[in-house]
Amino acid sequence: MIMDVADKSLNDLKSVLGKDAGEVKPALDDIPTLEIEPMAVVKALRFLRDHKEGDFDLLTDLTAVDWLDYPESGERFEIVYLLCSTGKNHRARLKTRIPDLDPRIESATSVYRTANWLEREVYDMFGIKFDGHPDLRRILMWEGFEGYPLRKDFPTRGYGPVERTPET
């Protein structure tokens, strides 16, 4: 079965990370998930990319979840990494939590080039900073835009009238 390889890869990663990893959980969408500590993200991504059985050669998506209204869930922000093995046709998911005050995590651009634009989107929409990112700036909103639209505490009508200046 295809999912066995992804499960094994995540269990191998769990063994390497030790206390920095939780339990491998099968998800409703059949993509196994491993929750890890924020400081272990780059190490985990590099392990999964280089793992011969898993061969997770593509970071297909990187996104965030704002758990503001769910204080029992722990830290406010969750970063989600979706990985794919294009040659072996299986997927895996890594999740980590970071705090509300000065939300930041190490950039994954040293492992996956696709992280460059994905991290910029998360920065632009959630205000999460990626340390070591080569060009962390807004990608969807203009530079003068105030706030981060996908945060749950962002007002639905923004902070005031929208004023854009034409770029020259």
Domain ranges of the chain: 2-131
Strand order across the 58-66 sheet:
21-25, 33-36, 90-98, 77-85, 58-66
For the beta carbon of residue 157, count every other beta carbon within 10 angstroms.
8
Instruction: Give this prediction's pTM.
Output: 0.89
Give tens-digit pLDDT for 56-68: 999 999 999 999 9
pLDDT given at position 168: 45
Give tens-digit pLDDT for 92-140: 999 999 999 999 999 999 999 999 999 999 999 999 999 999 999 999 9
pLDDT given at position 159: 64
Close Cβ partners of 68 (under 8 Å, ≥ 6 residues apart): 76, 100, 151, 152, 153
State the Cα–Cα distance between residues 10 and 123, nearest whole angstrom: 27
| Separation of first and last alpha carbons in the chain | 56
Give tens-digit pLDDT for 71-103: 787 899 999 999 999 999 999 999 999 999 999
Q: How far is CA 99 from CA 42, 44, 87, in A?
A: 18, 20, 36
pLDDT given at position 5: 84
State the Cα–Cα distance between residues 90 and 56, nearest whole angstrom: 8
Confidence of residue 12 (pLDDT cuts 50, 70, 90): very high
Give tens-digit pLDDT for 29-44: 789 999 999 999 999 9
Confidence of residue 48 (pLDDT cuts 50, 70, 90): very high
pLDDT given at position 73: 79
Which range is most confident: 14-18, 65-69, 105-109, 156-160?
105-109
Task: Decide yes or no: CATH 3.30.460.80 for domain 2-131.
Answer: yes
